[in-house]
Amino acid sequence: MTWGLATSHVPSIGAAMDNGKTTDEYWKPLFDGYTPARQWMVEHTPDVAVIVYNDHANAVDLNLVPTFGIGTAESYAVADEGWGRRPVPPVQGAPELSEHLVRKVIDDSFDVATFHHLDVDHGLTVPLSVYCPEPGEAWPCAVVPVLVNVIQYPQPTAARCYALGQALGRAIRSFPRDQKVAVFGTGGMSHQLAGARAGLINKEFDRMFLQAIETEPDKLAALTREDYIREAGTEGIELIMWLIMRGALSGNIRRVHDTYHVPASNTAAALALFEDLGAKETV
Amino acid sequence: MVKAQDNYVLDLAQNRRGLALNRMCGSLKHAENRARFTAGEAAYCDSYGLSPEQKKAILERDWIAMLDLGASIFYTFKLAMLDQKSMQYLGGVFTGMTAEEFAAELRAGGRKFG
C-alpha cells in the first residue's frame, strides 16, 4: 500500500476538466488546490488503485441494491449517465487482485456482492481524473472498484465502513504479488441536493471531518447515519466512503496535502492525500 | 426520525413508491431511450407503468411533485439534463429561487441550518 486519496466526485468537476474550464474564475480555486497532491501522485504511480465509490443510477438499479460490492472484470466501460459518455479512456481492471480481495473480505465476514459487468460512472472516473487529469489513451493504473450503497437508506454504518476498510487493508497487504496499491475514498463533503434543505453546506462539520480522518477515525466511525445526514446533508453521508480508505491504510500515515473549497456545483469539495509509511518499512 | 431531518431520504418505502418513475428516469442513460422519450413522452411513461400522478409530474416537469411521489434526485437528474437544466436549477426549484440566486448562495458559502 503506497497512498490513500480522499476526494469528492461531483460530475461537474469532471465536466470542468472535459470542457477546459479548470482555469475559469469559478473552478480555478478548486483545481489550484489539487496541484500539490497531483504533483506528489505523479511521482508515486500505483500499479492498481482500489477505488471506493458509489454508483449514481447507472450500473446499480433500484431493483437490487447491494450494500457493498467489488468489481471483478478485466475492464470497465465508462457509463453514459444520460448526457453522453465522458471523453476518458475505459478503465482496466485487476481481476486477480479483485478475486483475492473478494475471497479475503468474505473470509473476514463481509458478504460483498461481485460485479462482472460494471459501467463506471463519475463516482469513479472523476476521482481518476483528479489523480490523473490527462490520461491520454489509457489510465496510468489498473482499478478495482469497490461499491458502497450510500443512496438508499439504510446505508451501512460508518463503523461498518471503517471495519471493511481495515479488512480490505489486510487483504491488500496479503496479496502474494509485489504490486503498489493506492486506495481512493470518494464522495462528500457536505451536500444536500433535493428538498427544502437543498444547498446545505456545513463548513464546521466538513473541517472537523477533514482533520479527524487523519487523527481520529474512530470518532468519525462512531457517528450514526442520522448524524451524517443532519450535519452534512442527505448526500453528505457519502463521507462514510472516506472511512473505508482510511481503514485500509496502516496505522502509520502522513498527510501529504489537503484542500477544501465551496462550491463545486451544489456541494463542498475536498481532497486529502495520505502517504502510507507502513508500506515503506516493509520495502 | 429521518423525516424530521429531510423529507426526501430514499428509504425502502420511498423506493417502493417511486420505483416506476425512477426506473423510467434511469432508462434515459441510454441514448436510444432518450430519443424514444423525446418522441412521445406520455407513451414512454405508460410503457414504464407510471401512475397518473407520476406521469403528470413528469410531463409538467413538476420536480417537487416527483419527489413527493417517490423520486430519487439521482434518477430525475437524468431527465433534468435531457432538458438541459442544471443541478443548480433544481436546487432553485426546491428552495423557491432562480438557478442564479441558488448558485449565488452556494458561492457565498452555502445555506445553513440549525
Give the one of B2, B94, B107 whose C-beta lies nearest to A194's C-beta: B94
Query: How do residues A2-46 score in pLDDT, each as one tens digit?
Result: 999 999 999 999 999 999 999 999 999 999 999 999 999 999 999
Beta bridge partners of A145: A51
Q: What is the mean pLDDT of residues A123-134?
A: 96
Q: What pLDDT does residue B8 have?
A: 87
Cell of A254: 502522513
Q: What pLDDT does residue B112 have?
A: 86
Residues A274 and A254 sit within 8 Å (Cβ to Cβ): yes
User: Which residue bears the cell 437543498?
Assistant: A198
If DSSP states are collapsed to H, E and C, what string results for chain B? CHHHHCCCCCCHHHHHHHHHHHHHHHHHHCHHHHHHHHHCHHHHHHHCCCCHHHHHHHHCCCHHHHHHCCCCHHHHHHHHHHCCCCHHHHHHHHHCCCHHHHHHHHHCCCECCC
Query: How do residues B38-74 score in pLDDT, each as one tens digit?
Result: 999 999 999 999 999 999 999 999 999 999 999 999 9
Write out chain B residues lying below 8 Å of A198, CB-based. Answer: 90-91, 94-95, 102, 111
Q: Cα distance from B11 to chain A (closest Cα, Å)? A: 4
Q: What's the pTM value of the predicted model, to 2 decimals?
A: 0.96
Q: What pLDDT does residue A23 have?
A: 94
- Measure the CA–CA gap between A224 and A81, rounded to whole angstroms: 30
Query: How do residues A72-113 score in pLDDT, each as one tens digit?
Result: 999 999 999 999 999 999 999 999 999 999 999 999 999 999
Give the containing element (helix H, strand E) for A206.
helix A203-215
Q: What pLDDT does residue B1 have?
A: 31
Query: How do residues A215-262 score in pLDDT, each as one tens digit?
Result: 999 999 999 999 999 999 999 999 999 999 999 999 999 999 999 999
Top residue of A120, A192, A265 to mutate, by most chain B CBs within 10 Å, is A192
Q: Cα distance from A56 to chain B (closest Cα, Å)? A: 6
B51-55 long-range contacts, CB within 8 A, separation 24+:
B51/B20, B54/B18, B54/B20, B54/B21
Omega cis (within 30) before B66: no
A149 → chain B, closest CA residue: B10
Q: What is the mean pLDDT of residues A178-194?
A: 94
Integer distance in angstroms from the first to the last C-alpha of chain A? 11
A261 part of the active site: no
> What's CA A171's distance to the chain center, in Å?
18
Q: How far is CA A138 from CA A77, A132, A231, in A?
A: 12, 10, 39
Integer distance in angstroms from the first to the last C-alpha of chain B? 16
- Measure the CA–CA gap between B91 and A45, rounded to whole angstroms: 38
Give the one of B2, B67, B78 whose C-beta lies nearest to A82's C-beta: B78
Using alpha carbons only, give the angle A214, A239, A58 rounded to the nearest 5 degrees. 140
Q: What is the mean pLDDT of residues A53-62?
A: 95
Q: What pLDDT does residue B114 have?
A: 56
- Measure the CA–CA gap between B33 and B27, rounded to whole angstroms: 6
- Measure the CA–CA gap between A242 and A9, rounded to whole angstroms: 12
Residue B6 pLDDT exceeds 90: no
A195 → chain B, closest CA residue: B94
Write out chain B residues lying below 8 Å of A63, CB-based. Answer: 19, 23
> Minimal CA–CA distance to A120: which of A89, A155, A151, A98?
A89
Report helix angle A203-215 to A240-248, nearest 10.
20
Number of H helices and number of E strands within chain A? 10, 10
**Mode of pairing for the β-strands spanning A267-276 and A253-264:** antiparallel
Write out chain A residues lying below 8 Å of B99, CB-based. Answer: none
ipTM value for the complex: 0.92
A44 part of the active site: no
- Measure the CA–CA gap between A260 and B30, rounded to whole angstroms: 35
- Measure the CA–CA gap between B83 and B79, rounded to whole angstroms: 6
Average pLDDT along chain A: 95
A39-43 long-range contacts, CB within 8 A, separation 24+:
A40/A256, A40/A257, A40/A273, A41/A3, A41/A5, A41/A131, A41/A132, A41/A273
Q: What pLDDT does residue A280 have?
A: 61
